[in-house]
Structure 1
Amino acid sequence: MIDLAGGNGAERFAQLALDLHDSGGVEETVQAVVEFAVQALNCSHAGVALIVGGERLEIPATTDPLVAEIYALQVDGGSGPLTVSMREHSITRVRDTVLDDRWPVWAAKVRELGVRSVLDMPLSTAGGTVGVLGLYSADPDAFGPDEEAIAHILARHASVAVASARHEDNLAQAVDARKLVGQAMGILMERYGLDDDRAFEVLRRYSQTTNTKLRDVAAQLIETRKLPH
């Protein structure tokens, strides 16, 4: 475990911040987080679960397939520390899956996977919880106050980085959509002698009539040179 008070610990967190800033997208960002977690904390495995579309849970990064299996147990069963941490925006710790009786079915299955202690840390921004950082250890009571403090700092870094990466992804998608619509409008203007306002109105009408996103209508026109039926 890294020493928070030591210069080396501060340098490693500074380097992590730079790595997260340089990550190419959400998946690269959270993968950097879980890899750092295993190096910095007393854990055997780590993973990140993110809320997508306001309700769906996605597992974009784990250090081991075992973590995805632990997440799946809770998503399918609807019970466990992950769901509590996400719902209540709280840190949830399981000191020992042998002794903890809050989620007996989940605990029994997790023990079979070789996990004895768990620390789930919410990833929160001003807009709410965006996901959970999960830390897992084969040792009982592996996560004390020091590990929790480090995990909290790591989660803060991760929350900001995920929010930033998602914002950049959304901007990139918006720019891409504008490019597609512009190309499609150009095709209509050239083929039918339309001005740009009329070309856009044609695309918009087809989008509404077919209940298809405007960018998808544009992409189909570019690819097939035909509007959707």
Structure 2
Amino acid sequence: MSTDQTTTMSTSLAIADAMAEVARTINAPRTVEEALSLVVDAARDTVPGIDHASVTVTVKGGYQTWAATGDLACRADDLQYELDEGPCVDALKAETFMQVDELPDDRRWPRYAPRAADLGIRSQLAFPLYTNTGPLGGLNLYATETEVLDADTRHIAELFAAHAALALGKAREEQSLNTALASRKTIGQAIGITQERFGIDEERAFQFLVRVSQTSNIKLREVAAELVHQSNERCDNA
């Protein structure tokens, strides 16, 4: 077996091991931040030419970094959020992959490129993360050398982006479910309070809350939460 074949086999085994470890995190009982941290660490250690990695999550009003391999990745992320430009931001806005082979000379981001170069970043990859429910965030990969991003780099990075999207999508689904269950519980409590206060049955109590929601143009769960809060305050002051 030639040296090149041995190197290729070793690389393939390393990638397979890393992907298996990341796959195990998807359904493991851990937080989404822990799962994403394993993804970015594995990506940094496995994707050829990559030195730093992070995951950006879309939130109301902007973006947040939920996992990063170190301070440099966090600073590069924050710089793009602050300037509202750069491969990370553009990949999220356009929902498309971005590759920058020589960042210091790239004119697409006149404010970000020179400041990123000052941080030591020379090349960058950015992948949008999305599921069938829509965009969730992005995987950012940073290199401290130019011309190190080839087809193999992109292909392997795409695998890690897919795993990051799965982990993030699972977390969002669980968050939505927990929110729905909490809202259902609160609405049930509010119905009970309304029944007791007005001496009406469950159906009429629910319709009462719905009418309050419609009249005030406030979501039903918020009306219910306020009613429960007021009831708890009265109990505390009794």
Using structure 2 for the length normalisation, give the TM-score.
0.79
Aligned pairs, how many?
Answer: 225
Asked whether the equivalents of residues 91 and 126 of structure 2 are also in contact (C-alpha less than 8 Å), the reply is yes
The answer for the alignment partner of 1:225 in structure 2 is 231
The answer for the alignment partner of 1:49 in structure 2 is 56
| Structure 2 CA distance for partners of 1:11 and 1:107, relative to 1, 3 Å | same
Asked whether the equivalents of residues 14 and 46 of structure 2 are also in contact (C-alpha less than 8 Å), the reply is no
1:92 corresponds to 2:101: no
What is the CA deviation profile of residues 40-82 of structure 1, one whole-angstrom value per residue up to 9, with x for unaligned ones? 23433211123346x7433322233443432343334333212
1:31 corresponds to 2:37: yes
Q: CA RMSD in A?
A: 2.8
TM superposition shift of 1:174? 0.7
Asked whether the equivalents of residues 46 and 133 of structure 1 are also in contact (C-alpha less than 8 Å), the reply is yes
1:168 corresponds to 2:180: no
TM superposition shift of 1:207? 2.6
**Structure 2: 5+ residue runs without aligned partners?**
1-7, 234-238
Partner Cα distance (1:73, 1:12) in 2: 29
1:114 corresponds to 2:120: yes
User: What aligned pairs does 1:207-222 form with structure 2 within 5 A after superposition?
Assistant: 207-222=213-228
Asked whether the equivalents of residues 66 and 113 of structure 1 are also in contact (C-alpha less than 8 Å), the reply is yes
What is the CA deviation profile of residues 176-208 of structure 1, one whole-angstrom value per residue up to 9, with x for unaligned ones? 110111112112222332211121122223333
| Structure 2 CA distance for partners of 1:4 and 1:211, relative to 1, 3 Å | farther
State the one-letter code of the partner of 1:31.
S
TM superposition shift of 1:4? 8.2
TM superposition shift of 1:5? 6.2
Q: Which has the higher helix share?
A: 2
Runs of 4+ in 1 over 6 A off after TM superposition: 2-5
TM superposition shift of 1:95? 1.9
Percent of aligned positions that are identical:
35
1:178 corresponds to 2:184: yes
Partner Cα distance (1:4, 1:105) in 2: 40
* Larger Rg, first or second structure (1 or 2): 2
Partner Cα distance (1:102, 1:162) in 2: 29
Asked whether the equivalents of residues 26 and 166 of structure 2 are also in contact (C-alpha less than 8 Å), the reply is no
User: What aligned pairs does 1:122-133 form with structure 2 within 5 A after superposition?
Assistant: 122-133=128-139
Partner Cα distance (1:136, 1:25) in 2: 25
State the one-letter code of the partner of 1:170.
S
Partner Cα distance (2:29, 2:126) in 1: 23
Partner Cα distance (2:157, 2:231) in 1: 53
Asked whether the equivalents of residues 49 and 58 of structure 1 are also in contact (C-alpha less than 8 Å), the reply is yes
1:149 corresponds to 2:155: yes
Partner Cα distance (2:127, 2:9) in 1: 19
